[in-house]
Structure 1
Amino acid sequence: MKCAYRSLGRNRPGATSASLVGLNYGLLGNNLLSANKVAPLLHFIGVGRVKLYDADPFVLRAFANTGVELIIGVPDCCVDKVRDPDRALVWTRADVQAYLPGTRIAAITVGNEILTNNDTSLARSVLPAMESLHSALTTLGLDRQTRRRRSRAAHQEERERDEGRKEREERESVF
């Protein structure tokens, strides 16, 4: 294990906090290290970006002042709630603004398993939630510090749906 850390660590040329190496960091599991141990370890081995599935306060505090960029997620269970602009503002204040500037929050993702859980109401809530969160970021002057992201799969599905709708409309207009 030491060899793996050393080969990926600071001795590696070009290992910086801006490294393109990133990983997902989930908190479900057994015998997990505390975030206070994980954050410096990831920084040491050259991980520059970490995606979190939610905005866990212990994790956000642990990554403060490490230089590691975080992408925090609004979990599926909260997507419908942050559709409401007032609730999105409350969430953004509590889960983003409260940790800045020490914690480098680079982006916010909305939803995690939207395409695989067959919950159409959840899927319909994603875009309004993103719009409310963007509005909250703008209101708080944070819109330039974070980026909104949506999975490529969601973009692809939307594009295919639009193409199918156009094709169907063209067929219907012929008849």
Structure 2
Amino acid sequence: MTQGSGQRRGDATAGEFTVQPGSGSERVVTVPDGKGGETRIVISDRGVSINGEAVAGADARPIAEVAPAPVFAPGRARKDIPNGVIAIVAIGCSMIVAVSLGSPLVRSFTRWLDRRTDQSRTPSDVAQRLAAIEQAVELVAVEVERISEGQRFTAKLLAERAPQDMERVR
């Protein structure tokens, strides 16, 4: 005797069904009807009968034999995934997106800054003029230093003269 689960999803009243070999090539399937009774289905070479009433002819037998009873896989429970894994995966994916989108944006921003500083540079002719002005200022500073040395020397000579010579000069 073979037993299978006749319970379908959402069908709380369906119970177990039994499949028994009958006389000859018959198969007898007994299914509870949910009201305390049972329905008897007989499949044979002559056809299919339910509770003694013929339902189909000889062509119904191969269909009944080929069609297996539905087997439902158990649903995957949420608790199969450890805590925090979904959050870690979401953070990882968002970091990948941020890096893949952010790095070209940062590169383009730095290029824009480089181009901006290149445009603010002075042209070469202005740089040459500024160099000439700087050289001229240095030459003037040297000449002023020479003049001040000459004045110090003269002041020293005048200070060394005798006071009576100074009276004569006046």
Bin the TM-score by the shorter chain: under 0.3
TM-score, scaled to structure 2: 0.22
Larger Cα-atom Rg: 2
